[in-house]
Structure formats: C-alpha cells, structure tokens
C-alpha cells in the first residue's frame, strides 16, 4: 500500500488556493470603479464551475484509487465535503447573474427597472453569500489537508510515545572566582 498523504494534502491545499483566488476576484456591488455587469459575474460563475468540475474529478479519481490503495479516504472526504459550499457559491453567483439579466432586459424593453437600491441590495446579498461560501470551501479543504498532512501525523505519533517533556538545555554559567574583586584577576597559588 502506497502512502499518498503528502500528495493528497498538497492537492487539497492547491485547490483551496484556487478557490481563494476566485474569491479575491469577486466583484463588489455598488463599486463605482468596477460596475457590476453580467460579463464580470459570468466569468466568476465560470471560474467556480471549472473548480467544481475539478472537485468532482478529484472525488472520482480518489474513489477509483481508494479501491486499490486504501489511503485516499481522507482526501476523498475532504474534496467531497468542499462540493457543497462551492455549489452554494455557484448558486449565489447565478442569482446575481439572473438579477443583472432581468435588470438589463427591463432596460432594453423600456420597462421601468427595479429601484437601484433594490438591485444593489440583491447583488450585495448574492455576492456576500458567494464570498462566504468560497471562504468555507477553502477552509474545508485546508482543514482536510491539515488532518492528513504527514508532518502532523508524525508529530502526533511522537507526542503519543513521549511520556515526559525533555528538559531544555541551559548554558552553564561562566566560571568566575568568587574571591576576585571586580576589576582584578585572581591568581592561583
């Protein structure tokens, strides 16, 4: 049986970083420098969709290899657990895209669009949910990586074998003759 915990932990951390990168690019509702539009939200939705497909591939890959190797269970659970919050992020971004499309469609037809404050509130809520869900996805992946990290496992094993803490080495004090007054050298007889 091959131990894959190091590569599994690295894969989990790398995937978490990818979700962090998408989270860092989320638009902000009401930002005058970066107006919110369907293209921006669509790009974010596409990025989350790509990462969701990668999560599904990781689950499938590890499920297939678990039958042979037996070591991929914790990584499989970590990737599978990250799917739910990632789907919530995708759903929130889809809600934002839908609201933007409805607003743009109403403008195109000449209908009176919803008040701008309402749109901003809906967008802020949807983007806030997406942000929180992406953060949760990254945290879930990092938690799974920490749980299976080989260094963590080795440290825990070492701690469990130790019965007492080893004393820390302390430097011995310098040898000074107590009879010698300050500033004078002591001579031996």
**What are 51's two structure tokens?**
């990462």
**Distance between CA atoms of residues 8 and 45, nearest Å:** 26
Q: What is the pLDDT of residues 167-187, one digit of tens each?
A: 444 555 555 555 555 555 555
Judge whether 50 and 26 are in contact, CB under 8 Å. Answer: no
From CA 52, how far away is CA 42, in angstroms rounded? 15
- Reported pTM: 0.73
Tell me the pLDDT tens digit for each residue of 121-150.
Answer: 888 999 999 999 999 999 999 999 999 886
For residue 59, the surrounding DSSP H or E stretch is helix 38-69
Q: Per the structure block, which two tokens stand in for 78?
A: 């970590």
Q: Where are the alpha helices (DSSP H) in 149-184?
A: 150-161
Domains along the sequence of the chain with CATH: 3-153 (1.20.120)
């Amino acid at each position: 049986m091959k131990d894959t915990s190091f590569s599994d932990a690295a894969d989990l951390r790398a995937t978490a970083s990818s979700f962090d990168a998408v989270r860092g690019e989320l638009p902000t509702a009401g930002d005058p420098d970066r107006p919110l539009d369907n293209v921006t939200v669509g790009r974010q939705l596409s990025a989350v969709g790509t990462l969701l497909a990668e999560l599904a591939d990781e689950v499938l890959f590890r499920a297939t290899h678990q039958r042979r190797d037996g070591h991929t269970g914790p990584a499989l659970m970590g990737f599978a657990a990250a799917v739910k919050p990632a789907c919530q992020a995708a759903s929130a971004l889809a809600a934002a895209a839908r609201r933007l499309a409805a607003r743009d469609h109403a403008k195109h037809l000449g209908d009176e669009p919803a008040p701008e404050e309402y749109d901003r509130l809906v967008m802020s809520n949807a983007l806030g949910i997406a942000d929180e869900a992406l953060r949760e996805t990254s945290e879930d992946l990092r938690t799974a990586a920490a749980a299976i990290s080989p260094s963590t496992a080795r440290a825990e094993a070492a701690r469990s074998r130790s019965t007492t803490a080893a004393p820390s080495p302390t430097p011995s004090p310098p040898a000074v003759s107590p009879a010698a007054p300050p500033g004078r050298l002591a001579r031996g007889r």
